Amino acid sequence: MLDFTVGIGKFFSMTTKYPTSKTVFEKWIQPLAGLVQQCRFKRKCNVLPDQEWIETGLLRVLSQESSGRAFLQKLFHSERPILKRSHFFETLKSQRRLRLCEEVSRLLYEIAKSSNRQADPFKSFSALDGYDIYAGDGHYHAAAVHDVIKSGKKYPTQHFYCVDLRSHALNQLTLADTTSRHRKREHDLHALKRLDIATLRQEAPKGRKVIYVWDRASIDFLQWRKWKQAGGVYFISREKKNQAFLIMADLDYDRKDPVNAGVRSYELVGCCAGIAMHRVVYKCPLTKETYRFITSLTNVPPGLIAYLYKTRWDLEKIFDEVKNKLAEKKAWATSFTAKNMQAQFICMAHNLMLILEQSLRKEGIENKVEDNRRKKRLNRALSCITTSREKLKRPRDLRSGL
């Protein structure tokens, strides 16, 4: 999540009335202009037109209110048209409105991806030119007030999101399937297997490959091979502690390339399923911790594998800001339709912030405080790495103090 999210979240939370006529708000929702008219599921509604419905959902994300009723009470005192409580909650059950949200969210997602390409952290690595790169993970919202009780308790709502690591645009992959009487949550891999290959490729053109960076919950090497063969979808994850691999061969890599500086070994390994994978053992120059990564990628430098996994943290930061800055901690309603709508509105809000931030940067408005903070962290890291390299170059007798 970009730092601008914090600023815009504070702006809306400090506003006593919803900023329907505020310049910042108008600028923020400007990319929505004309998107509703492009959607197949648009309909004419005199009570709550589709454009106003989308804006209302976005205001719900920004409202900082803990419940829908509190949000409507605040909305009542604003300059927006009066919306009845019953009508608001009925629209959250509408399959047609959900399809509309999904269409608008998808269009906005594509706009955010194309408009924020200059933020691409991989543009200097030619080995990744032919790949779309995503980080995925599950995220929870607390149960809605009227959610069904299973085994004496309510269970949180579970979503699976992904972020395009080249542009930071956010997308919902799916809502967890908990329809089974005994299923309280859905495993990441079970959810991924429910998705078809077209959904995983996310409209990538023919010939372009797709990388997903996921945590240890995604490990299934047989399924990885199926995704790779069926649609050019590759996975990167960390090795589980209890996994035992057979080292089949040591793989060559360019040890002089700076990107491979922390690589300790690069191996072809076999698992009990009879599948061969690549394993990267990497020691971080800063923390001195050793990490082991498993991947179905075969033609990317091992140092880049480690770097790709590091960028997965961007998705965790998005989850943190959705929860703590936008205060989206709880499901809006009980129905699967409403839960899916909430996820789509969260994605829309995030992607609108990305687009607005790019507009502000073009006008010379930047968060210099955070930029300076980032530069200081980078300089400290580079200094630490340089010191480590100098120690390694010293003669052994000098390093030992003799």
Residue 344 amino acid letter? Q
Beta strands (DSSP E) in 11-66 are: none
- What's residue 339's pLDDT? 95
Residue 375 amino acid letter? K
Average pLDDT of the segment spanning 226-241: 94
Q: What is the pLDDT of residues 243-293, one digit of tens each?
A: 888 999 999 999 999 899 889 999 999 987 789 999 999 998 888 899 999
Average pLDDT of the segment spanning 116-134: 89
Average pLDDT of the segment spanning 327-354: 94
pLDDT band at 401 (very low <50, low <70, confident <90, very high): very low
pLDDT band at 388 (very low <50, low <70, confident <90, very high): low
Spatial CA neighbour of 295 closest among 283, 308, 284 = 308
Average pLDDT of the segment spanning 113-125: 85
For the chain, how are helix, strand and coil distributed in percent, rounded to 5?
A: 45, 15, 35
The answer to whether the beta carbons of residues 155 and 140 sit under 8 Å apart is no
pLDDT band at 189 (very low <50, low <70, confident <90, very high): very high
Among 14-18, 103-107, 112-116, 346-350, the least confident range: 14-18
Q: What is the pLDDT of residues 301-325, one digit of tens each?
A: 999 999 999 999 999 999 999 999 9
- What's residue 402's pLDDT? 32
pLDDT band at 400 (very low <50, low <70, confident <90, very high): very low
Cβ of 166: how many Cβ atoms within 10 Å?
Answer: 20
Q: State how far the Cα of 148 lies from the Cα of 156, in Å rounded to an integer.
A: 11
The answer to whether the beta carbons of residues 371 and 184 sit under 8 Å apart is no
Average pLDDT of the segment spanning 180-208: 89
pLDDT band at 391 (very low <50, low <70, confident <90, very high): low
- What's residue 224's pLDDT? 95
SS3 401: coil
**Is 70 exceeded by the pLDDT of residue 162?**
yes
DSSP state of 186: -
SS3 283: strand
**Is 50 exceeded by the pLDDT of residue 12?**
no
- What's residue 211's pLDDT? 97
Q: Per-domain residue ranges for the chain?
A: 4-214+312-365, 369-399
**Is 60 exceeded by the pLDDT of residue 398?**
no
- What's residue 159's pLDDT? 96
Number of helices (H), then strands (E), in the chain: 14, 9
**Is 70 exceeded by the pLDDT of residue 238?**
yes
- What's residue 82's pLDDT? 64
SS3 171: strand
- What's residue 3's pLDDT? 47
Q: Which span out of 19-23, 115-119, 312-316, 363-367 was modeled with the highest average pLDDT? A: 312-316
SS3 for 361-378 is: HHCCCCCHHHHHHHHHHH
Size (the chain), residues: 402
- What's residue 273's pLDDT? 75
Q: What is the pTM of this model?
A: 0.87
